Structure 1
Amino acid sequence: MALKLVIIGGGSSYTPEILEGIIQRQDTFPVNEIVLVDIEPGKDKLETIGNLGKRMIHQANANINLSWTLNRREALVNADFITTQIRVGGLQARSIDERIPLKHGFIGQETNGAGGIMKAFRTIPVLMEIAEDVQEICPDAWIVNFTNPAGIVTEALLNYSNHKKVIGVCNIPFNTQHSTAELLDVKPEEVLIEFIGLNHFIFGKKVLVSGKDRTEEVFDRLIHRETNYTPANIMPLDWSETFIQSTKLLPNPYHQYYFQTETVLEKDLQSYQENGTRAEVVQELEKSLFELYQQPNLKTKPKELEKRGGAFYSKVACSLMDSIYNNKNDVQTVNTQNNGTITDLPADAVIEVNCVITKDGPKPISIGKIPSPVKGIIQNMKAMEDLTIQAALSGNYQDAYNAFVMNPLIQDEKKAKVLLDELLEAHKAYLPQFKQ
């Protein structure tokens, strides 16, 4: 059976990784048509990626027809899978999300705090439109979303769009699995981590290696700083022995924003003063990547792509699509509806959790209760995510303010308004729902 994949945000620097993943899986996941989709401002990048993709396919002697277009609805006809990797407002919008909070003494980050909320405000309405197009044109297709904030966006689509075949993916579980394998000197496929929590807010509850519990050994090695599983977009910080031994949980790199806030803010402000925002650093990296992509002798994904913070998102997405198509019943960590998996969260909440991947989608593996040390903050985060989705869809100022003031990285009723007002003004071109 031939398959059609549509990549929305096809002009992204990450796209060569998706193409590589599809090429490598030709024997098991027979995609024979790929359409890259983007918008007018991304036309030049889309063409660059398209030409590189053609060279990659030719080099691999793969039977894949690759094309690109600015017409999304036309591209979606007969699609089997759709991946979404968009950035509404581009890296300039990300820079604003980072710069304004830092100016006011708050964490400035693209998926956490005020910046993460603003990205959700810009992104959710656009992806809702995409989901409605999918439901109308190719209702049997799966949307695999790795547009951030992935968990919030996936929940908005599952709970408020008419299209329900939506799964969110993230590279943090992948990175954590591979770093843990390196720490224990075993193969990544031998490692299974029981994750609990939300996108960018998951904890590792248990580490199994070929079925054997080695959680305490991982904790011990982490305490003695024998590994670093921090992605390129986050500055690595150590975790104290007290934190690890008291919580009995494996943190992920994003937790430093919440549990080491003062230290992170200090380092971020220093980095901002010396190098500008992370977005500005990424703009330079993107520039060099696209210069590479334009070289006619480049016929494979360049190693330099791994310097981007979201590297390996695409690998995760390709593995997921392969498993759905082949009904593999393997275990992967994805963003999907809770439905009783975590008993302390609502049924329709989207969580990041280990699932058995079937032809009918992910089947979450039951976890039970949230560990007591982190129960309160996970519930707080989930409530804040709900407020963010509500505001993104309503365009109501009070809804937006509630999301800001209840975010653990803000929680200041006066400064929340200052931040919100300034960010709404800065992003007004991409926030038509906030008319006042």
Structure 2
Amino acid sequence: MRLMIAGGGGFRVPLVYRALCAGPFAGLVDRVVLYDVDAQRLRAIDAVLRDMPTAAATRPDVVMSTDLAEALSGTDMVFAAIRPGGTAGRIADERIALELGLLGQETTGAGGISYALRTIPHMTKLAEAMRKHCPDAWLINFTNPAGMVTEALLPVLGRRVIGICDSAGGLVQRAARAAGSPLPDGTLDGVGYYGLNHLGWLYRLAPDGRDLLPELLADPAAIESMEEGRLFGRELLTKLGCLPNEYLYYYYRSSQATAAITQQRETRGASIHHQQSSLYPGLLESTDAYALWDAARRSREEGYLAEARTHGEQRDEEDLAGGGYERVALSVMRALSGGGTAQLILNVPNAPVVAVGDPATADVAVPGLPADAVVEVPCEVTPDGALPLAQEPPRGQFLTLMRHVKEVERLTIRAVRNGEREAAVQAFASHPLVGATPQGRQLLEGYEQAFPELRGLWR
């Protein structure tokens, strides 16, 4: 199988390659094509891959390309993790919101809308090039905001685009371990989870038919052992009656998160930008590029959601070891290519569904959201694609927030697709972490100054 990675000079590409060299995914791919617009970043990542301590017999061939048509030709599967504007763009995404006293975060709130506005056009071009050069290939989308970008590509690729993220699956696995009932890879039996990307809730955990979640929420020691327990606190979790995705910290603790980010010496984006600015040249000069990259990777993992750990708390070792989103992507790829059915939490259209329980109630996976909206739910993946598993109707406050954020996503997509500047203003203004038209206009004006190419979107 030939795998093309768009954004092949990206920092996390070695995680994908490492997973392809050993373990359950070894032998799945015989050629990896790394495509990027930055040839220097490609050479740096190539140095890491060549230095990676893996058996030669299991290593897929690596080809580098800055020509999109060439990279796509003959491709069976495409992974996409691109960042238009680079890490410097992420700094602007965060800074412009913070200057207005709003949350400054890469995918959530104003920063996520900015990221989507400049990313959707590039991802649309990739999807259109796939239709021309490899029409039977699947696109596994890592590019953030993953749910919104995936929904924007449905008119081009239909169900041949699937969005992935590791945060929901990580939550489920942590909860299952804390409850004393770890789930085998590729199964989500008895798991109830609904939401949008970076906005979801684990509401049932019943691998053997009995829901373990109420007992887990009532156990202070078990909750404290989980990242989400430390993030949200047992009082809030008891009130919610479920476990939220870690990114909901920015909604439930918005003021606290914004204050913590503001008080940090530099934003997360600035920290990553400074790290990568020195790392990539260093990789080209190093005699041990893999070790240099891996040390940087671990440091970066340790800083994840640092604004929520204001008392010196440490991330769990399992989360620092790596093996998150690349395992999800490769599990999807293996199932699509005939390697057996897998159950995974993915970003896919809300219908059609695989019915669970009464088929009469299973018109959509998440009742209350449009059938064509991309949602993040457990899915069954086969060579025919990824079909969502029907979930229980969300409780009022959860459905209200999902509908609110979904409308923001659709306004953002419409702004790009139709060139409607006012739709972009309303997307910013109506986001629950913004909430006012004057601020929406200020945000868009600020992002247009930082990213002049945005002005070219409007008709």
Q: TM-score with structure 2 length normalisation?
A: 0.85
Q: Deviations over 1:230-281 (max 9, x none)?
A: 6xxxxx633351x32232221111111112111111111111xxx2121111
What stretches of structure 2 of length at least 5 have no aligned partner? Answer: 305-318, 352-363
Tell me the distance in 1 between the aligned counterparts of 2:177 and 2:108: 28
Q: Relative to 1, partners in 2 of residues 1:294 and 1:319: Cα closer, same or farther, differing over 3 Å?
A: farther
Tell me the distance in 2 between the aligned counterparts of 1:140 and 1:346: 27
Q: 1:323 maps to what in 2?
A: 335
Is the CA contact (8 Å cut-off) linking 1:225 and 1:238 kept in structure 2? no
Q: 1:263 maps to what in 2?
A: 256
Is the CA contact (8 Å cut-off) linking 1:175 and 1:229 kept in structure 2? no
Q: Deviations over 1:88-144 (max 9, x none)?
A: 000111100100111110001111111100100000010000000001111110100
- Shift of residue 59 of structure 1? 3.8
**1:288-299 superposed matches below 5 A:** 289-290=279-280, 291=282, 295-298=286-289
Q: 2:237 maps to what in 1?
A: 244
Q: 2:101 maps to what in 1?
A: 105
Is the CA contact (8 Å cut-off) linking 2:79 and 2:142 kept in structure 1? yes
Q: 1:37 maps to what in 2?
A: 35
Tell me the distance in 2 between the aligned counterparts of 1:350 and 1:60: 40
1:277 aligns with 2:259: no
Amino acid at match of 1:200: H
Q: Deviations over 1:359-379 (max 9, x none)?
A: 011111111422223111111
Amino acid at match of 2:39: K
Alignment partner of 1:189 out of 169, 177, 184: 184
Amino acid at match of 1:394: N
Amino acid at match of 1:219: L
Q: 1:392 maps to what in 2?
A: 416
Tell me the distance in 2 between the aligned counterparts of 1:430 and 1:70: 24
Amino acid at match of 1:170: C
- Shift of residue 398 of structure 1? 0.8
Partner of 2:40, secondary structure, is: helix
Tell me the distance in 2 between the aligned counterparts of 1:182 and 1:289: 35
Amino acid at match of 1:22: L
**1:6-17 superposed matches below 5 A:** 6-17=4-15
Tell me the distance in 2 between the aligned counterparts of 1:246 and 1:410: 25
- Shift of residue 282 of structure 1? 1.1
Alignment partner of 2:372 out of 344, 348, 352: 348
Partner of 1:276, secondary structure, is: coil
Partner of 2:391, secondary structure, is: coil
- Shift of residue 86 of structure 1? 0.3
Q: Relative to 1, partners in 2 of residues 1:27 and 1:416: Cα closer, same or farther, differing over 3 Å?
A: closer
1:180 aligns with 2:204: no
Partner of 1:237, secondary structure, is: helix
Partner of 1:213, secondary structure, is: coil
**1:35-434 superposed matches below 5 A:** 35-39=33-37, 42-56=38-52, 59-62=55-58, 64-158=60-154, 160-162=155-157, 164-189=159-184, 192=188, 193-221=191-219, 225-229=223-227, 237-241=231-235, 243-271=236-264, 275-287=265-277, 289-290=279-280, 291=282, 295-298=286-289, 302=294, 304-306=296-298, 307-308=300-301, 309=304, 312-339=324-351, 340-429=364-453, 432-434=456-458
Is the CA contact (8 Å cut-off) linking 2:34 and 2:65 kept in structure 1? yes
**Count of aligned positions:** 422
RMSD: 2.5
Is the CA contact (8 Å cut-off) linking 1:28 and 1:322 kept in structure 2? no
Q: TM-score with structure 1 length normalisation?
A: 0.90
Partner of 1:378, secondary structure, is: helix
Higher relative contact order (CA 8 A, sep 6+): 1
Q: Deviations over 1:204-229 (max 9, x none)?
A: 01113455421112212468751343
- Shift of residue 303 of structure 1? 5.6
% identical aligned pairs: 30
Tell me the distance in 1 between the aligned counterparts of 2:383 and 2:455: 37
Q: Relative to 1, partners in 2 of residues 1:285 and 1:319: Cα closer, same or farther, differing over 3 Å?
A: farther
Alignment partner of 2:21 out of 20, 23, 28: 23
Tell me the distance in 2 between the aligned counterparts of 1:94 and 1:27: 32
Partner of 1:61, secondary structure, is: helix
Is the CA contact (8 Å cut-off) linking 2:48 and 2:283 kept in structure 1? no
Tell me the distance in 1 between the aligned counterparts of 2:385 and 2:165: 16
Q: Relative to 1, partners in 2 of residues 1:8 and 1:145: Cα closer, same or farther, differing over 3 Å?
A: same
- Shift of residue 16 of structure 1? 0.2
Tell me the distance in 2 between the aligned counterparts of 1:330 and 1:341: 17
Tell me the distance in 1 between the aligned counterparts of 2:123 and 2:397: 35
Q: Relative to 1, partners in 2 of residues 1:294 and 1:60: Cα closer, same or farther, differing over 3 Å?
A: farther
Partner of 1:347, secondary structure, is: coil
Partner of 2:375, secondary structure, is: strand
Partner of 1:36, secondary structure, is: strand
